[in-house]
Amino acid sequence: MKLKNIVLGTVCALAMMSGSSFAADLTVGFSQIGSESGWRAAETSVTKLEAKKRGIDLKIADAQQKQENQIKAIRSFIAQGVGAIFVAPVVATGWDDVLKEAKDAKIPVVLLDRTIDSKDDSLYLTAVTSDTVYEGRVAGEWLAKTVGDKPCNIVELQGTVGSSPAINRKKGFDEAIAKHPNLKITRSQTGDFTRAKGKEVMESFIKAENGGKSICAVYAHNDDMQIGAIQALKEAGLKPGKDILMVSIDAVPDLFKAMANGEANATVELTPNMAGPAFDAVIAYKKDGKMPPKWIQTESKVYLPDTAAKEYEARKDLGY
Ligand code: AHR
């Protein structure tokens, strides 16, 4: 039995060593969107950590929210002859030409955290994302359950126009509340996934909605916009989390802090570790020719105030 364990352990260690020595020769170019949110900053840090763990040479290009910069970065990665390209696509459309160039150069592309609108799924190796429609749906279902039969006017802070999470989180939420005619979205506008824009848009909603008095709930497509909305509501003399229900997506530490302080009611977690599974898929593909599934789905989980203080403590030093 002991000998069997030793042999097994040695085989595993050798397999890991050959995986990591393979990874040490690998260069990955990552076209990141920018740093619009705490979640995005966390994804960038985690990607660096996961690359370091595997000895991968990672080159990051910050696109400052512009698709044209992402396209330029991908072309530059192709010219440099990197081993793989990761891209977090700022919007869903307009990728076919540049991804075809990567495909012609035989460089596998992995989509991270957002998907693209293309008829040709051979343009990328795999997409590592959560189910963003589901995230919107659970947010809507949580709200419907919490509100019960009372009438409820909802204001919605949407993510970046044309981005897959903004499209899908709206879709999922709309589907969930469609079953509850007492729930109505009265205002819906983009806050571009940022705190500053979330606050600005929320201020305009408050003005338009009777000083905020006719608002029953705020649904934000990410936590950063929700934190901006909380600030706007407090400055208007309202009590977010008490007078107004607050539900959003990401589960960043600041939102747990807001929940622990009674200023938010629910968040749906989006893991910032998209890169770990992406690196593993690329290594298995390049080393052993193993094709990953087209979609590597990450988990989404609802968090409520009862565990917020504990979750905040566990996450506050993660640096995002
Ligand atoms: O694509 C994921 C979304 O993009 C996150 O929810 C948001 O915070 C980010 O900027």
Blockwise average pLDDT, block size 10, the chain, 320 residues: 48 50 88 97 96 98 98 98 98 98 98 98 98 98 98 98 98 98 98 98 97 98 98 98 98 97 98 97 97 98 98 84
| pLDDT value of position 7 | 47
Q: How far is CA 97 from CA 57, 102, 113, in A?
A: 26, 9, 21
Number of domains in the chain: 2
CA distance 64 to 70: 9
Identify whether residues 260 and 148 lie together within a single domain: yes
Amino acid (1-letter code) at residue 69: N
- Pick the residue whose CA is nearest to atom 3 on ligand 1: 165
Q: Report strand pairing: 302-303 vs 266-269.
A: antiparallel
In a domain, 308, yes or no: yes
pLDDT at residue number 19: 56
* Joined tokens for residue 117: 């609108």
Indicate whether 22 belongs to any domain: yes
Residue 60 domain flag? yes
Which residue has the CA at smallest separation from atom 9 of ligand 1? 40
For the chain, how many helices (H) and strands (E)?
A: 11, 12
C-alpha to C-alpha distance for 162 and 60, rounded to whole angstroms: 23
Rounded to the nearest 10 degrees, what angle do helices 38-54 and 2-24 cross at?
A: 110
Residue positions counted in the chain: 320
- Residues 118, 149, single domain; the answer is no
**Nearest atom within ligand 1 for CA of residue 163:** 1
Protein residue closest via CA to atom 2 of ligand 1: 113
Clarify whether residues 206 and 187 are in a common domain: yes
Q: Please indicate, yes or no, if residue 115 is contained in any of the structural domains.
A: yes
Phi-psi region of 214 (alpha: psi -120 to 50; beta: other; left: phi over 0): alpha
User: Is the CB–ligand 1 distance for residue 277 below 6 Å?
Assistant: no
**Are residues 138 and 262 located together in one domain of the fold?**
yes
CB 222 less than 6 A from any atom of ligand 1: yes
Interatomic CA distance for residues 156 and 262, integer angstroms: 20
Look at residue 256 and tell me if it is in a domain.
yes
Let me know whether 167 and 105 are in one domain.
no
Is residue 190 domain-resident?
yes
Question: Which residues constitute the domain of residue 162?
Answer: 132-270+304-315
* Ligand 1 atom index nearest CA of 88: 1
Q: DSSP state, 149?
A: T
237 and 310, same domain (yes or no): yes
Q: What is the pLDDT of residue 8?
A: 47
In a domain, 297, yes or no: no
* pTM to 2 decimal places: 0.93
Closest residue by Cα to residue 189 from 178, 201, 172, 171 = 201
Question: In Å, how far are 6, 139, 149, 177, 310 from 170, measured between CA atoms?
Answer: 53, 10, 22, 11, 30
Same domain, 139 and 217: yes
Q: What is the CATH number of the domain that holds 310?
A: 3.40.50.2300
**Has residue 296 been placed in a domain?**
no
